[in-house]
Every structure is written in C-alpha cells, then in structure tokens.
Amino acid sequence: MSHLTLHNLTIKKFNEGFRNKEFSAFEIAKEFFDYIEETDQKVGAFLSLAKDEALAQAEQADIALAKGEDLGDLAGVPLAIKDNILIKGQPATAASKILENYKASYDSTVARKLKASGAVFLGKTNMDEFAMGSSTENSAFKITKNPHDYSRVPGGSSGGSAAAVAAHFCSAAFGSDTGGSIRQPASFCGVVGLKPTYGAVSRHGLIAMASSLDQIGPIAKTVEDAALLFKIINGVDGYDSTAVKANYGDELLNPQFEQIKKLKIGLPEEYFVRGLDPAVFKAMEKAIAGLKSLGIEFKEISLPNTKYALSCYYIIMPAEVSANLARFDGIRYGWRSDAENLFELYKKNRGNGFGKEVQRRIILGTFVLSAGYYDAYYSKAQKVRRLIKEDFDRAFQKVDVILTPVAPTPAFKIGEKAGDPLAMYLSDIFTIPANLAGLPAISIPVESSVSSKQSAISLPIGFQLIGKHFREADILGIGQYYEQLTVKS
C-alpha cells in the first residue's frame, strides 16, 4: 500500500478494490491515518480523529465481506465530516470555544444513514466558527490551509472538509452550505461540492446557523461519487419537518446521455460582470466550450434581482443566527465562566466563548429583528428574497439548468481579507442566490488555472450549475458527462 493509492481513491475505486479483495478496509483506513498524521500538520484539515472507532468500523466491513454478507454502498469507505454535524460520542465543537469540550449525545440523521451504508468516519474537520465565514480563518482552534498552496485559504466555512478531500486524507467528506459553504471551498480546492435542494436532506443533528438556508451536502473527488452520497443521505425524516420525500430514481447514478443533451443551460448576464478575475472568466469559457462540444444548447438569461442577494442574505442570515445561537449560554452544555450573577454569567460565557465574527453576526441579527427595525430591514429582505426566487422561476421556464462562476476569484491569501468583512462577504456573491431560493447547486472543477494577479501560482477554479427544485439529477448528470469529457481530454 502507498500514498499514491490514496491519491486516486474515489469511492467507486475503493468499492471495486475492496469487493475484489485487492485490499482490506482496515488496511486503507490505517493508511489514511498514517498519511494524516504525517501531512495534516501542514494543512490543518482535522480538528479531531476517531482512530479507534474508524478502525473498528473498517474491520466490521472486512468481516462482513469475508462472510459474504450484503454490503452497504459505502462499506468500508473512509469519510470525513464537518465538525457541526453530530456523530454520537464524537466531539462536535462547531470550531468554537463555547463547545470546546462538547461531545454529541446522538447521531445526526445524515450520520445515521451513512453508518447504515457501512461508512467509516475518520474524524471531524475544521470550519469557520459556527459556519460563519468564507475562508476557515474564523475557527477558534486553527487556520486550515489550501493543499494546492499553503499560503492560501481553502475557502469556507467547510474548508476543512474540502481540504481533506483535496489533500487525499479521505475518499469524500461532508459539509454544510448556508450561503456557499460547500461550493466555494470545493472550487478553491479543486474538488466537487453539492448543495442539495433545501429540504432534500434532513438537518436533524446539524448545529444550526440559519435554519431557512442551511443544507448538508457531500464534497467528493468526482461528480459520480457526489451523486452516490446524495442518493444515500436524501429523504424524509421524522425529526425534521422541512425534510421532504422527493422522487429520485436511477437517473442520479445512471444519467442517460440523450436526455442530458436535451437540457438547455442558461447563462445569466448578471454573473459575468466586471470585477470577475480574468482567470475565472477564462475557466468559465473553457467549461462552456466543453459542454457545447457535448451538444448542449446555451441561452442567455437575466436574473435582475441578483444584485440584491448579498444584502438580502446578510440581513436574513444574521437574524436567524441571533435566534439559533441564543441557546449557547454555557449553562446546559459547553464552556462556562465563573460569575457572581446570571447577567455576568451570560456576558462572560458568550463574550469569551464566541469569536469576533460570531459576535458581529449575533449583534447585527439582533438589531435587524429589534422593534423599529424589523419592518425596515428583516421584513423587506424577506420580500426581496421572494423576488430573487421568482427570477429563478421565470428563468427556469426558458432553461433547465443555469451555469455561473462559483466565486469571483481563485483562492486568496491567508489574511488578505481577514480585516475587511465586506470583502470577505463578497466571496459568496455567486453562491448565495441558490440558498435564498432553496435550489440545488454544484461546484465542478474546470482546470488548474493561473491567477492573473499571482501568475506564478497554479490554482483550481470551479464552475457552478444551478438546477430546478429537486432536480439534482440534471446538474449531476451534466457534471458526470463533463467529467468524462475532461478525463478523455
């Protein structure tokens, strides 16, 4: 066994090798841990490892194979999971001091479904504290670095998960996406990231940030792997009233080329604007040319209310943050200060337990929900959200899928935007609209591209496909055929 084996180990390749008894799940899990211990000090992808539990899970997969038992789709597959998704008995810090010593008392629905499929959980990945950030610089514990260039960010808030996949520390990982937190780091790290339709995947056991926007999704080496993971985790859940049953058939994993060719892709004029890094623009042209070579038709469209999406998001999201994070007072669980009275206890716990970005968003959210400002800000933002959704509804009468950049630039330098929150927020300008409208969207690597500002550095860039509600099959299908095209070339 060698590290080279790990570098090419997609879920599909793992399944083939494992079931053909070319290697054991235990061997692979041990090899991953050895590689993580050797290399992760440079990357900082993991906050905690679950070595004993993972090796035991891998051994169970080997025993089941030896006995000829029915194996789940993920039997023995080594995965990493963002540290805001609960796995019973494992740390769940959300990268915050206030939850530094907290261990989950139950499994999230996603973890339960993955366990039932035989997955092996290697550990919990770093993130921006409570998923608030676009660079994984807001973690209370460490800064994760981009595996392609250690001086740059991996994106955020699921930067640890994207870096873990890109650095070959696991076959795939899971993150959460509130305004682009799966897709943007996937683009920066050169991997695939899927944000499902809102309600397609249960949020039970996800530490909530903004409940009307959050969605759990996979980060993988290939679109095909992302499709398999989504097939396993989607579905209705009695613990989450927003999770609905959608009719996903075989088309997720077996897209028919003749059907895919009939799909029409829209190019919104508002997403191809001045300010887009030349390297990103060039990468989008390459992706479009590749898809046109498959015979897919393109059409120019308009999403006029896109310009309000960022402002709208940064009113609605902090409002939900201020409500969701009220439960973290240090009394029932988490970090606790010494104090003489209740007011001082709350002040110390939350003042010392939350980082600056979390405090900023709680204060902003409390402000927009307060008397006198609710109608001026929050209520108005919700009305604009409806207009953004209606833009997409109209566009989808003309096209089936929409193609856009994922981010305005390739991965930026660590510290480059840390002192300017507005510049950091702009990193999500192209991903936020899909969350506001509840649509499925995926980031797919185009190529290793050269940044116009840092010509010596080769950086990954992804393109985004946005689909109709519960039509993940469309964006995954196009992605799988694009992937085959790039492999051939």
Active site residues: 82, 157, 181
- Pick from 223, 232, 429, 215: nearest CA to 314: 429
For residues 194 and 217, the answer to whether their CB atoms sit within 8 Å is yes
Go through the chain and tell me how many residues it has: 489
**Tokens encoding 353:** 């337990």
CB atoms within 10 A of CB 83: 29
The distance of Cα 422 from the centroid of its chain, to the nearest Å, equals 21
- Pick from 173, 169, 185, 139: nearest CA to 39: 169
